[in-house]
Structure 1
Amino acid sequence: MYSPSAFVQRYLDLLATGRAADALRVPGVSADLALQQDTGIDASSSEALLRAAALAQLTDYRVTSEQPDDGTYRVTTAYRAGGMRGTTTYSVVQDGWLGVVPNWRFQRSPLAEIELTVRGADDFAINGFALNRHQVSTQGADADPLDPLHLLVFTPGAYSVTVDTPIAATPGVRVLADTALARTPVDVQAHPTEKFTSLVQQKVEEFLANCTTQQVLLPTACPFGLEVSNRLADGALPKWSITQQPTVTIEPDGADWKIPPTDAVAHIDVKIKSVFDGSVHDVSEDVPFQIDGTIGILPDGTASIRVGSPSVDGG
């Protein structure tokens, strides 16, 4: 009951029953990480995940060995965390006495770090616990969307990172934190949702429709136009229409998104007057063109869509 193995077993009991606050009070868990030797983690890491709501299920856990080593005991455990099998070895030392019973503590904190990069979203969840980039970054509201986030976690622990917003989603990436004071890099690329793609398609079509209202040969800030060597007939104004809308797709572009080059066709009807003999003839012509663009996500969650050089209102 008073062995290093029993000490570690009680720590695992706390994690298995979701008692994260009690686990943090176990001697040696919340040690000053800046003073820990040979640590691979950032001492300023966020503690947001050190709570019951962020713990995955821990089952089938047991101590498999206890090895003394010059006053330190190496206690090895086996378990199933979030359905993932793993083993972890802890360093335990005596921490005085309680009467005739020895107290124990972790020589090295059993905490670890997830170094998380989420591309394409500021909102995400870990084990279903919702987080926002600006809440957990040391830079706060000024956090760069591509800067990794440093998050403390318990070992052992399984952590599943998911994105599920109106703009972006991902089925999730799961990692096992099984080594104390170790850093585990995790890179998550969110992908555009059908709703987001449909919205961008709608905004691009609205933008092109607005271009067709310009009764000129070269609509301003638009991706199509017609150059002629003659001139417009007196009183004639070009009439534009879109005969083939672009089929918009969205691809990741760093922290934001882009619209890759996409084919489309405009149509013009206009009367042209020859500069040589003054004759007037009707022009009815399809004008192929391409669009591309970039999409940035604004702080309020709306999208700023830029088609080529012109900008489309966000939504």
Structure 2
Amino acid sequence: MRRELVTWSIVLGLIIAAFITTVLIVNATLFSSSGYVRSYLAALARHDMASALQIADIELAEDLGASSDDGSGATPIDTTGAGSILLAGSHDLLRPSALSTIDDVDLVSREVNADGSETVTFVFELDGDTTETTFTVQRDGSRFGVFADWKFVTAPLTIVRITVANTQEFSANGSEFVTPAQDVPAPYVVLTPSSFEISHSSTFLTADPITVAATEPGGTVRARLEVVANQAMVAQVQREVDAALDECATQVVLLPTGCPFGQPMANRIVTTPEWSMASYPEVSLVPGSEAGSWLMPATDGAAHLTVDVRSIFDGSVSTFDKDVSFAASYLVTFAPEDQLTITPQY
């Protein structure tokens, strides 16, 4: 009996020691501060938005369509569980399709702060660029009474204030979005870390892509996307302007109606005036004063006029055979079904 009791006591001691060792190892790895942050980054890496939000203890407002009184489309996000203040901004970018690619996640450092919180820094490849982000976390009770639970001191969220110039539409990492108003900064809440390629491409407009990286929890990043008229729009306006000027040149009067060119005469005309285009104004487009409008600034061109005239002084007849310079300006607006409305500004 005594020998069996000793044997069982040794076995029980070994089991208890193994359990304690396992708990220490698990708490130092999987349930450590770095393990907690690594699990969050792993959720982002696999584009598991729901898990990332759950790990970070972030709750989105139920009505994602609700907007703030300032018209920015901003809605609050409850991050109080993460020990953070409420953030206000659009949730539109909080979707799996807009998340970044995260690879090669490595722990850089882990420091214990005076208040008991821990600062953890990771390095990783964010959409192909080497990036580093620092998180501060603190203990938040325990699981099963033995495994440590953690929470973010500052929620892993960043406000990205995006201004889209000259339109409201933009794409982020291939997903399409619409800002509340063009040329006005719109706040978007994104998970940290995130990287977005912001761009625009449509029938008549384009923009050089810009990259926006959100790597600081609780921070704010500002970005401006400059949208301009593309070559297809310029070419179409050029064709329509040229056609309108050609139509003007068919009028057999000195001052064609509704046209930017004409030639008054003090002398009497003898023959029918003949107009032709000598050089067309070269179209360039800049944003107009009204949203959604584009302006061709006053641009020089020349029409050629041939007409015989009789002098009112001596009755002699001469031929007026010259280029007549003019300047033309047009306002361009969008019509349904990818059509353009071009209105002369003269």
| Match of residue 102 from structure 1 | 148
Question: Following TM superposition, by how much is the alpha carbon of 1:280 offset from its aligned partner in structure 2, in angstroms?
Answer: 4.6
Q: Distance in 1 between matches of 2:210 and 2:139?
A: 38
Question: Following TM superposition, by how much is the alpha carbon of 1:261 offset from its aligned partner in structure 2, in angstroms?
Answer: 4.3
Instruction: Choose from 158, 165, 169 the match for 1:119.
Output: 165
Q: Distance in 1 between matches of 2:333 and 2:222?
A: 25
Q: Distance in 1 between matches of 2:342 and 2:130?
A: 45
Report whether the alignment pairs 1:3 with 2:37.
no
Question: Following TM superposition, by how much is the alpha carbon of 1:240 offset from its aligned partner in structure 2, in angstroms?
Answer: 1.9
- Whether the 8 Å contact between 1:84 and 1:176 is mirrored in structure 2 is no
Report whether the alignment pairs 1:241 with 2:286.
no
Instruction: Choose from 123, 130, 145 the match for 1:85.
Output: 130
| Match of residue 51 from structure 1 | 95
| Residue 220 to residue 38, structure 1, CA distance change in 2 (3 Å) | farther
| Residue 171 to residue 87, structure 1, CA distance change in 2 (3 Å) | same
The residue correspondences of 1:224-239 to structure 2 (distance < 5 A) are: 224-233=261-270, 237-239=272-274
**Which structure shows the bigger proportion of residues in helix conformation?**
2
Question: Following TM superposition, by how much is the alpha carbon of 1:17 offset from its aligned partner in structure 2, in angstroms?
Answer: 0.6
The residue correspondences of 1:191-270 to structure 2 (distance < 5 A) are: 191-233=228-270, 237-251=272-286, 257-270=294-307
Q: Distance in 2 between matches of 1:293 and 1:5?
A: 61
**Over residues 127-172 of structure 1, what are the superposed CA-to-partner deviations in whole Å (9 max), with x where a residue is unaligned?**
1112233xxx2xxxxx2x2112222211111111111212122341
Match of 2:184, SS?
Answer: coil
| Match of residue 312 from structure 1 | none
Q: Distance in 1 between matches of 2:59 and 2:336?
A: 34
Q: Distance in 2 between matches of 1:90 and 1:302?
A: 50
| Match of residue 284 from structure 1 | 321
Give TM-score scaled by structure 2 length. Answer: 0.76
Instruction: Choose from 93, 102, 110 the match for 1:66.
Output: 110
| Residue 67 to residue 301, structure 1, CA distance change in 2 (3 Å) | farther
Q: Which structure has the higher relative contact order (CA within 8 Å, separation 6+)? A: 1
- Whether the 8 Å contact between 1:121 and 1:163 is mirrored in structure 2 is no
Question: Following TM superposition, by how much is the alpha carbon of 1:118 offset from its aligned partner in structure 2, in angstroms?
Answer: 1.9
- Whether the 8 Å contact between 1:30 and 1:109 is mirrored in structure 2 is no
Q: Distance in 2 between matches of 1:76 and 1:191?
A: 40
| Match of residue 176 from structure 1 | 213
- Whether the 8 Å contact between 2:84 and 2:155 is mirrored in structure 1 is no
- In the alignment, structure 1 segments of 5+ residues that lack a partner are 138-142, 310-315
Count matched residues.
296
Match of 1:174, SS?
Answer: strand
**Over residues 162-216 of structure 1, what are the superposed CA-to-partner deviations in whole Å (9 max), with x where a residue is unaligned?**
1121212234111211011211111121333221111011111122123223333
Question: Following TM superposition, by how much is the alpha carbon of 1:13 offset from its aligned partner in structure 2, in angstroms?
Answer: 0.3
Q: Percent identity?
A: 29
RMSD, aligned CA:
2.8
| Match of residue 158 from structure 1 | 195
Match of 1:131, SS?
Answer: strand
| Match of residue 313 from structure 1 | none
| Residue 125 to residue 283, structure 1, CA distance change in 2 (3 Å) | same
Greater Cα offset, 294-303 or 267-276: 294-303
Report whether the alignment pairs 1:19 with 2:48.
yes
Amino acid at match of 1:9: R
Q: Distance in 1 between matches of 2:267 and 2:95?
A: 74
Q: Distance in 2 between matches of 1:59 and 1:13?
A: 9
